[in-house]
Chains A and B, each alone.
Chain A
Amino acid sequence: RKEVEQDPGPFNVPEGATVAFNCTYSNSASQSFFWYRQDCRKEPKLLMSVYSSGNEDGRFTAQLNRASQYISLLIRDSKLSDSATYLCVVNIPSRGKLIFGQGTELSVKP
């Protein structure tokens, strides 16, 4: 079983749609969580951290459920420019490294 698993893609949605991605992690020692965005043929960049109480940044909302060991990313009113691959990342301090999920591809169509 992979340490970090994401919804399989691709997600094809129309502009203005709301889309949600889920990510599950297997190591209960995981302490911090992030969503990264990767545009085609570009390097990943941090989109947002995920806090225990949930957090929002404009059209983006991240949630963490420690009991069920999953995190989610909700994108409201999706834009064409949101088309990218979204990577779930988990930090396990005892492992000393950041674990990336395989990513979920989002394609927003006009």
Chain B
Amino acid sequence: GAGVSQSPSNKVTEKGKDVELRCDPISGHTALYWYRQSLGQGLEFLIYFQGNSAPDKSGLPSDRFSAERTGGSVSTLTIQRTQQEDSAVYLCASTGTGRRTGELFFGEGSRLTVL
């Protein structure tokens, strides 16, 4: 499809396991964002990519969280040694350059549940 694609859509894991979440942005979009949203809460910024580099990773909650982007396209968010407080919906969004910068296109999210 032409939208932002995220996988898996749902992930249930046991505390202490590692998880990998994938985001495939809209083709040609140079900027890619990861946000986290806990139940009933607002969006929490995690990391932002421009191309393959991450000018701002200030939102990553701890060193258990890491993200990379390759080929200016697909991004992977990795959470090591998951904790119950990591349970949330992880949203990826992308945007292009130009006048409409700021119009973020979101994926449907990856819902992570840590037991």
Q: Which residues of A come within 8 Å of B, CB atoms?
A: 32, 34, 36, 42-46, 49, 87, 89, 91, 95-103
> Beyond A43-B107, A45-B106, A95-B56, is A100–B101 a contact (Cβ under 8 Å)?
no
For residue A97, which residues in chain B have a CB less than 8 angstroms away from its CB? 33, 45, 48, 56
The interface on chain B, measured as residues whose beta carbon lies within 8 A of the other chain's beta carbons, has a size of: 21
Contacts across chains A and B counted by CB atoms under 8 Å: 50
Shortest Cβ distance from B91 into chain A, in angstroms?
6
For residue B50, which residues in chain A have a CB less than 8 angstroms away from its CB? 96
Assess the A46–B45 pair: CB atoms within 8 A: no
For residue B43, which residues in chain A have a CB less than 8 angstroms away from its CB? 44, 87, 100, 103
Residues 62-115 of B at the A interface (beta carbon under 8 Å): 91, 95, 100-104, 106-109
For the complex with contacts A91-B102, A95-B56, A98-B95, 4 further pairs of A-B residues with Cβ separation under 8 Å are: A44-B106, A49-B103, A96-B48, A96-B55
Q: CA separation between A48 and B107, bound complex, in Å?
A: 19
Partner of B41, one of A42, A46, A102: A102
Partner of A43, one of B42, B56, B102, B106: B106
Shortest Cβ distance from A78 into chain B, in angstroms?
22
Question: Using an 8 Å CB-CB cutoff, how does the interface string of B8-49 with A read, 1 for contact, 0 for none?
Answer: 000000000000000000000000010100000111010010
